[in-house]
Amino acid sequence: MPTLEPTTLRASLKQNRRKLTRARQAVLDILATADRHLTPAEIYRRAKATHPHLGLTTVYRTLDLLAELGYIQRVHTSDGCHSYAPSAHTHGHQLICAVCGRTEEFSDCDLAKLIQTLQRKTGFEINVHMLELVGRCPSCQTKRGARRK
């Protein structure tokens, strides 16, 4: 996964006249090594371990920035859209475990045909799509078959 390569990130930042700072590195590190989606507050708490001076404000600002650059992705669950997951910095979608929050990214969504049909039918010009799949990851399936809700 190219997510973590500091070189790539630094380059992206430079393009926008932005800098690679400790705070940004810390936030991205947390997400990149997390196997589930996290809220700003959770990221803040975790990142403070390696960067005690970190402010929550900075986390918010950093999340916006990283999302804009495509290094992380907002995850939309039924209880809100304020969690973030790492992203491979390309067109990607998330497969989310409803039980533990674990995410997997995938990119071959193959919606071309659907999009074409809908464009013809509705006259819309479609240029962005968001797709998320939700279910239970292998390990949450076995854990006493616990079904959420």
Q: Which residues bind to a second copy, rule: CB under 8 A?
A: 76, 80-81, 95, 97-98, 104, 106, 108-111, 114-115, 118-119, 122-138, 141
Angle, alpha carbons 101-104-110 (nearest 5°):
130
Angle, alpha carbons 67-68-73 (nearest 5°):
25
The DSSP code for 18 is: -
What is the spatial distance between Cα 27 and Cα 22, in angstroms, rounded to a whole number?
Answer: 9
* Centroid of chain to Cα 130: 12
User: In 3D, which of 139, 147, 143 has the Cα closest to residue 36?
Assistant: 139
Residue 17 touches which member of a second copy, DNA, none, C-beta under 5-8 Å by kind: DNA
> Quick one: which of 21, 50, 107, 139 contacts DNA (CB under 7 A)?
21
Site string for DNA, 49-78 (x = CB under 7 A): --x-xxxxxx-xxx-x--------------
CB of 111 to DNA, least distance (A): 28
In the complex, the residues that contact DNA under the rule CB under 7 A are 10, 13, 16-24, 39-41, 51, 53-58, 60-62, 64, 82
